[in-house]
Structure 1
């Protein structure tokens, strides 16, 4: 005769009585050594095996010992692979009847163990016990190496492998190893592409149930984890934990090659790829590879023709909503992100973050080859191409390659002659936006860059940077001709290319004069011929120089009141009426140039 209770049937009354104890909480079977109570005698018997040090039943394959023969038999099924208990609904097999019973609760939906605090139900008592520790905060399993506590014993065992470096679970496809079987199982979904957990709101799929739950909070807006220092909320405990390290300054993950520390393990893992050169994420359309999945996704948007988010003012399309919002700030003029030091505002958060590094002096991204530091990671990435020689952007028409994408775009304008950037005040067009911005400052006369040491202002950032060298007393560009020192390359080049390098030019012209006079003395021209050519003022005499100096100086009565006779007299050197020799003309020109330099 069978007994029925709450929709379940037991062949014997004893089975029903044992089940009812789950609801009543009665535990009549107590351990004599520790006082722990159990609802059934079998539970007490299993518990007493902990205190029984005698283990007479030994496995002949791995040497593991057991206190009961039934436990040895269950264990041996691991080696033999025997699973004698089949589920009649899905055909799945299990090594013990207990495992089969627990599995069948998935089909029946039975969860007899409920939490009295939050109402969550579980198929097993152990699941409820572990869940209750979340409410109580109990972590009975402590690591003897670092003192970290765990709610589960298997959690402690997995954690200990981080100290020993043991990773017993290997992927057969890529040979990557893991500390736990569950981590391996999740990893294998990368190769199989399996994502069994689907979001019912946006059809997005995930490889783990935990990631699905975190994702669903984006739809509900739920952020149950609060930071007790700044009040910021997070969708996951890991997000909160990583955030709190910003306040504490803790960076527990160190790179063994360069010593750089990181807040989270994933940050260290991505950083290590900069040393190894590993780029595991490959684009299936252009063979380009990336070190992170995020960069691959951003890259794939280049190939994607479809742009889901369109601007309602200019019809420009964007692949993400956040990029559309940043773009719309260009139309509205809105710049909601304000620097607390100088008040400068930006239309996106990243722009503010990189700007603040200017005030703090922080350059967190270092080149491992030359030690140069950069404010943003993209700047470091572009700089590293100068070491590797990589020039990924090429123009098909001429074959020229570039390190930056902007360089390629600017070069394309030289072929097309296209000048898209037009000044609104004078109509002048430019091929590059930064050149237009520099040009517009000539209209506004606004000097936006201020020296923090002397207060001097500049229109261009390069001018301010060159000015800083004056305070730092750096001899940046000395002239090897005359010894003059310049603080910028532009001033130095201008000095070299013009007659401003007076010492060098004067020396050079004097040498040329000396050579020319030597040639003239050996020529067939007589002094009388030279006198007839030069007139009363000989070009070699000091009077010729003073006469020319008089012609260069403005008249007291005005610049246009020179008489015809004076004009003829003043220009007797520079404009000979009847030159008789090409050598004499060259000699006169050299003397005039020397006179102008000495003025």
Structure 2
């Protein structure tokens, strides 16, 4: 497929297309295809797969999909594969996946080459593309993965009995709560890092706020590539794009509000149903959402996550800490 069709392989380390043969990067897909046509008419196929993990799939720009031998044009990878097999004698074993994830870039749109869904950025498109190749399913929780290696890693971190592993430092804990307490109290294990001063944060929003208030960076905005509407919230932008321009919408039957995922719709419907399906096993209080129960469980934990540096009082929950600061230390602004 790589040798005899114009399925042009690329890597995706950032937000541009990187040539697998010479590592040149292109933000504009048309320049990438021009580069492949002019600079890599001959190449070693093995080089294209050198960066792929074991059992991984090769990403390829299939916008202008043609046979390199006769220049016939095709819309789908399966069609050009059948053409190469039937008309040019290059035998392909159709009992297996072709091993290529097809991306299409047409009229400034970022499209899935399988279902033609449109996406606002390459990273989201890449994550979506993997959903079409999730052949390995966890028997414990039902989550699916593209490769067996990814499934095994998931099993290691999520389903070893009486063992929870911190993904950053690899320390092992005998319960999920113990692992959460470790992460809360270990800044080196926090997921997000400031690229200016290297301070780490638990949440992406906290890192962005830090960049604005401490380093003077302008607050990041998100402009919709389809209609130009500007959003200050990344989540609001993604919901707007999915429901308005990508044809993805899960509609609430009670109020007609649209959501970008089924999970978000299900979280919303409890507003109308009043159902509280998540019970605390300690005090038997019920909650409408799992996230509410998770936050509540900190009340029963012996570990105090928040401490007042002025009077040394400790609190399980951030809301209690904030209430204390406003009541007893109103002179402190940024707590």
Give the TM-score normalised by structure 1.
Answer: 0.27
Larger radius of gyration: 1
Structure with the larger helix share: 1
